[in-house]
Amino acid sequence: QRTCQAAAQCTFFTHWNASSACCLSGEDASWSEEPGAVAGPQVCDQADPGCVDMPDAGFPGATERESELAWPAHRVPLKLQCWPKNWDEGSYDRCPGIQVIEDSKLGFPGRCSGLTRIQVVPQFETCETLCKRNPFCSLFQVVQLDGVYGPKSCWHAYATTGLNCYVNREQNFFPIRAKRFMHGQVRVLADLKGTMVQGLLNAFGPYWFINVSSAIEACRLNCYSNIMCQYWQYNRLNGCWVEDPVAMGPVASPPTQATWDAASPHVAMVLAGEYIQHACSGFANPAKVTGEVLGLPIGVTAPPTKAPRLSAHEAARNAFHNFFSGGGHHSGGTVVRVIDEEQPPPKPDKPDGTPSHPAQQPQPTTAPVAAPAAAGSGSQGSTSMPWYWWGWLVLNVVACGVALAWGHVVSKQAVDGAGTALLSDEDSPREEPNGSTELEEGHMAK
């Protein structure tokens, strides 16, 4: 990064861990995933760019690269990039800002399907408090069958919004309590009216509301309540569509014009929709957030709770924050490779002339730029081993010698005591006149 700061035309840098190669890129470079590389900007912002930036008018592009370049940081924000993470436990933390956005006591039917039954509610917890403690729980539902004296059961919408919550299912199915929550805040990144996003799930049909504006609002709240949902659209023909990675898988990212289909003949039926980002105030810098932000201000951060573990892939991609990006590199445009005098030289090329890391060492398109020498730098240092390594080596040699000697003694005693008994009469050695011992041909005595 210091080398990039010293170069006038450098905007991004990439460091390859295996070869210690450093590549500088201009403003036209874009980020892509690549294990074994660390990438970052010339200067790190105080706030994560993915939590404050907005795309330009060219988003989404015809290709993924064009979509990346439409953002100031040249990468599309990752899902949950602006959500607090517990790296010690490999999980997502809860956000203290929780709002009730739909309530069965205020007209919300809450007759959702597709929920997960909670078999045991811990002591001192309720179905509601247990849902609030999990950032992936968007809705809870308490069901009581067989009259007022029947057993109660707890249901959660886990990483989903719940389906057909406004539909009259069975006549005897009336949840006695249901609430929908919104964890954290929502930042609107783009308006989706005039497009049809591919890969969404139909949350409910168009026939359960008296007016369209109420249906659109319900659709919006469905997506706002699920932190895994980044897209929602309301279609006049078949109702509400939301992103549901559990049921449908995530929408393709980075999105392209093929993902946001504006050429479909049914585009005119899309009455409303948004591309959103879930964030937790206090994790992102709220003073620099642009676009519409919904939610209450956040005060003291609440203690974290257990949540789904991050996969290795997701953890690597989410490690960017507002500094360096582990597991990624910048490419495209002008790339200049520089030599860092503080790092060991790159590995030599193979005998056939191919580089040791062909995919990780882009060829420079301009003359290489030498890295500025560090102030007061001296020799590269001695290659001899420190004294404590020699001590450790001597101790191991002595220990191995003792172990071998002891094993030899034990083995000899065992052979002397039991070796002859293991042989049959035919295999027993016979004494020769000269005192030597001879075995029949084909036999061996230990």
Q: Minimum mean pLDDT among 259-273, 300-314, 347-361: which range?
A: 300-314
Which residue(s) pair with 191 in the sheet? 274
Structure token digits, residue 104: 């069965």
pLDDT on residue 48:
81
Q: Does residue 136 sit in the same domain as residue 29?
A: no
The reply to whether 181 and 260 lie within a common domain is yes
Domain stops at, among 281, 316, 351:
316
Q: Is residue 14 situated within a structural domain?
A: yes
Q: What's the total number of domains in the chain?
A: 2
Q: Are 143 and 251 within one domain?
A: yes
Cite the beta strand spans of 42-176 per DSSP E.
85-86, 91-92, 98-103, 116-118, 137-144, 152-158
Report yes or no on whether pTM surpasses 0.75.
no
Would you say residue 73 lies in a domain?
Answer: no
Q: Please tell me which residue, 388 or 150, carries the higher pLDDT value.
A: 150
Q: How far apart are CA 140 and CA 179, in angstroms?
A: 6
**Is residue 338 included in any domain, yes or no?**
yes
Lowest mean pLDDT among 7-21, 112-126, 323-337, 417-431: 417-431
Chain segment 211-269, per-residue pLDDT in tens: 999 999 999 999 999 999 999 999 999 999 999 998 898 999 999 999 999 988 889 99
**With 50 as the cut, is the pLDDT of residue 368 above it?**
no
My answer on whether 108 and 189 are in the same domain is: yes
Which residue shows structure tokens 């139909």?
Answer: 202
pLDDT for position 29: 81
- Asked if residue 336 and residue 280 are part of one domain, the reply reads no
**Range of the structural domain that residue 356 is part of:** 2-44+323-370
The pLDDT score that the predictor gives to residue 241 is 97
Instruction: Report whether 137 contacts 221 (CB < 8 A).
Output: no
Kindly state whether residue 254 falls inside one of the protein's structural domains.
yes
Can you spell out the DSSP letters for 344-367?
PPPPPPPTTS--SSGGGSPPPSS-
Contact 72, 53 (CB under 8 A): yes
Question: Mapped to the 3 state alphabet, what secondary structure does 57-90 carry?
Answer: CCCCCCCHHHHHHCCCCCCCCCCCCCCCEECCCC
From 351, 370, 389, give the residue that closes a domain: 370
Both 21 and 89 in one domain: the answer is no
Same domain, 300 and 335: no
| pLDDT (0 to 100) of residue 297 | 28
Cβ neighbours of residue 121 under 8 Å, at least 6 residues apart? 127, 130, 154
Looking at 278, 294, 316, the residue that finishes a domain is 316
The helix (run of H) or strand (run of E) holding residue 312 is helix 312-318
